[in-house]
Amino acid sequence: MLTSNIATPMNLQNVRLNLPNVSAFYQGKVRDVYSIDNRLLVMLASDRISAFDVVLPKGIPFKGQVLNQTAEHFLKATASIVPNWLLATPDPNITVGMMCVPFKVEMVIRGYLAGHAAREYALGKRKVCGVSLPEGLKENDQLPAPIITPTTKASEGHDEDISREGILKQGIVSEADYLILEKYTFALFQKGTEMAAQQGLILVDTKYEFGKDADGVIRLIDEIHTPDSSRYFYADGFQERQAKGEAQKQLSKEFVRQWLIANGFQGKEGQTVPEMNDEFVIEISERYRELYEQITGKKFIPRESGDTIENVESRVITALSEV
């Protein structure tokens, strides 16, 4: 178990950086995005944590660092397969990258019948996002081959399932571009599957986002293969648990959702987020740090004690001048 001494040197739950030439600013549930000269993006992975489309009241020390450095690990590992937006990581919580116009779809890919797909299947549906599924599957079974089950990327509200045919019919993505998105999605999932296996893990499902840069090149953007965007199972004992109908050991933030459910919260109207005491905040922080080490095979090195927001800004400004 990692040490529970998790005092963070600064509050990275809600921070507004003072950067030059900011042309736009967007605060998402977890990330803050600064547009620089309408050319570059500075993305800060905050310590906010969300579940059921709600940002929880307390930040989780080092969570943003875990997400940012996990994404950096996989962006660099897959750069020879698919072009991506990454230019620099001047700070443990920050990525500087190329501004891209995002496609309004998320490319969700599944190798196993889990999560949303399993729930749809349990309702008797044998098609998910237009993709046919065979009879006789049970939850968490491996699919005959990975399938892409896209969702729309809503500016407000929830993302919604959509089929390949629906995307093309509505003109959300051109057929030529969509063929590239499919190719990249399968290639990234294959690489992610291989890297997970090296760590004794199974990459169950994940999602990718893509955009076009100023030259019209399609690039992978945002995060990749993090515990917030992906579901992992432990490979050891997987077949035995399936044969017995037991729940699989997961490596994701599912434990946070389960804690919320156990305390009467699922994001529904009239429900109140339960009190997150310091002990639970410490537990989440430790779990995220363990997730990083398990997924990447690297030791987690926390941000240096005594670091300041001014230091963060200085590192980012230097990086912006060099890219």
Alpha-carbon span 242 to 244, nearest angstrom: 5
Token pair for residue 311?
């230091």
Res. 48 pLDDT band, cuts 50 70 90: very high
Q: Scanning the structure block, which residue is given the tokens 């992610």?
A: 192
Alpha-carbon span 168 to 166, nearest angstrom: 5
Question: Per the structure, how many domains does the chain have?
Answer: 2
CATH number assigned to the domain comprising residue 111: 3.30.470.20
Domain final position from 244, 276, 307: 244
Residue 153 pLDDT greater than 90, yes or no:
no
Alpha-carbon span 323 to 176, nearest angstrom: 30
**Is 132 found in the same domain as 50?**
no
pLDDT value at residue 39: 94
Contact (Cβ atoms closer than 8 angstroms) between residue 70 and residue 177:
no
pLDDT value at residue 160: 86
pLDDT value at residue 156: 55
pTM of the predicted structure, to 2 decimals = 0.91
| Average pLDDT across the chain, whole number | 92
Q: Exposed e or buried b for every residue in 158-191, given b needs 16+ CB within 10 A? A: ebebbbbebbeeeebbeeebbeebeebbeebbeb
Alpha-carbon span 273 to 175, nearest angstrom: 43
Residue 148 pLDDT greater than 60, yes or no:
yes
**Is 106 found in the same domain as 240?**
yes
What residue numbers bound the domain in which 172 lies?
A: 102-244
pLDDT value at residue 296: 96
CATH number assigned to the domain comprising residue 275: 3.30.200.20
Contact (Cβ atoms closer than 8 angstroms) between residue 205 and residue 115:
yes
Examine residue 308 and state whether it is found in any structural domain, yes or no. yes
pLDDT value at residue 8: 46
pLDDT value at residue 169: 96
For residues 162-167, average pLDDT:
96
**Is 234 found in the same domain as 136?**
yes
Closest listed residue to residue 99, CA positions, set 212, 217, 20, 223: 212
Residue 6 pLDDT greater than 50, yes or no:
no
Domain final position from 223, 244, 265: 244
Domain final position from 244, 278, 309: 244
pLDDT in tens, 179-234: 999 999 999 999 999 999 999 999 999 999 999 999 999 999 999 999 889 999 99
**Is 233 found in the same domain as 134?**
yes
Residue 7 pLDDT greater than 70, yes or no:
no
**Is 91 found in the same domain as 185?**
no
Token pair for residue 47?
């310590």
For residues 127-133, average pLDDT:
94
Alpha-carbon span 159 to 221, nearest angstrom: 18
Q: What is the CA radius of gyration of the chain?
A: 20
**Is 107 found in the same domain as 96?**
no
**Is 93 found in the same domain as 211?**
no
Examine residue 107 and state whether it is found in any structural domain, yes or no. yes
Examine residue 11 and state whether it is found in any structural domain, yes or no. no
pLDDT value at residue 157: 53
